[in-house]
Amino acid sequence: MTEIVDGARQTQRSQAKADRRAALLDAAAKLFADRGFNGVSIEDLGTAAGVSGPAVYRHFAGKQAVLAALLVGVSRDLLDGGRAVVEAASDDAHALRSLIAFHADFALGNPDVIRVQDRDLDSLADEDRRDVRSLQRRYIEQWTAVLGRLHPSLDATVLRVRVQATFGLINSTPHSARTHGGGIDAATARPVLEAMAWAGLNAPVR
């Protein structure tokens, strides 16, 4: 009985720690997006997450480690999510539509992270920045592999241009809306983004 109780307490402590870490990352995304990485202190992060500044160090070695966890983490989530989408698809057309929907969900749900990525990537340590770039390249390769099977006549460079242009389209919408003080209605934006992304990826070759 004691072992069961101790195990339950350990599970609760582990969950509480994971929840606090997630809260810190969420607070970091908002603060970094609003003020920039250099405009936010460890104390600011702690206050926003409801803990003291020194308590942040129980979860992260420092502010740069928070930024790394945020950007490396989201890049890994995109890669893993993209892989799952492709594996679950019935064919390549279904896979491409599902990738578009997956990325639209990400962009509309994480505008702060997109802003941080755009502005503060260079604030990462060199190794972390290389990790982000590597994960991003692999995510792009997932898309280009699917698109290449649908359009085998297209050159690999053209495929990458189409994919990266699609990311620019989808990522810029929530970014621009926040920058200019407007709200984003995801229910309205999502079908427009998905239709434009599909059309751009599959545009006729001239």
| pLDDT at res. 166 | 97
Cα separation, 59 vs 185, whole angstroms: 34
Q: What is the pLDDT of residues 36-49, one digit of tens each?
A: 999 999 999 889 88
Here the tokens at position 56 are: 């942040």
Average pLDDT on 56-66 reads 90
DSSP per residue, 37-50? GGG--HHHHHHHHT
| pLDDT at res. 56 | 86
pTM (2 d.p.)? 0.85
Q: How many CB atoms lie within 10 A of CB 120?
A: 18
Residue among 154, 70, 152, 80 nearest 112 (CA): 70
* 42 burial level (CB within 10 Å; 0-12, 13-18, 19+): middle
Cα separation, 172 vs 32, whole angstroms: 18
Residues 6+ positions from 165 with CB-CB distance below 8 Å: 200
| pLDDT at res. 175 | 60
* 54 burial level (CB within 10 Å; 0-12, 13-18, 19+): exposed
Average pLDDT on 172-201 reads 76
Give me the chain's average pLDDT, please. Answer: 88
Average pLDDT on 50-68 reads 87
SS (H, E, C) 33-102: HHHCHHHCCHHHHHHHHCCCCHHHHHCCCCHHHHHHHHHHHHHHHHHHHHHHHHHHCCCHHHHHHHHHHH
Cα separation, 136 vs 9, whole angstroms: 38
Q: How many CB atoms lie within 10 A of CB 71?
A: 25
The count of residues in the chain is 206
Q: What is the pLDDT of residues 120-138, one digit of tens each?
A: 999 999 999 999 999 999 9
| pLDDT at res. 171 | 93
Residue with tokens 């989808």: 170
The model's confidence at residue 6, banded by pLDDT at 50, 70 and 90, is: very low
Cα separation, 99 vs 84, whole angstroms: 10
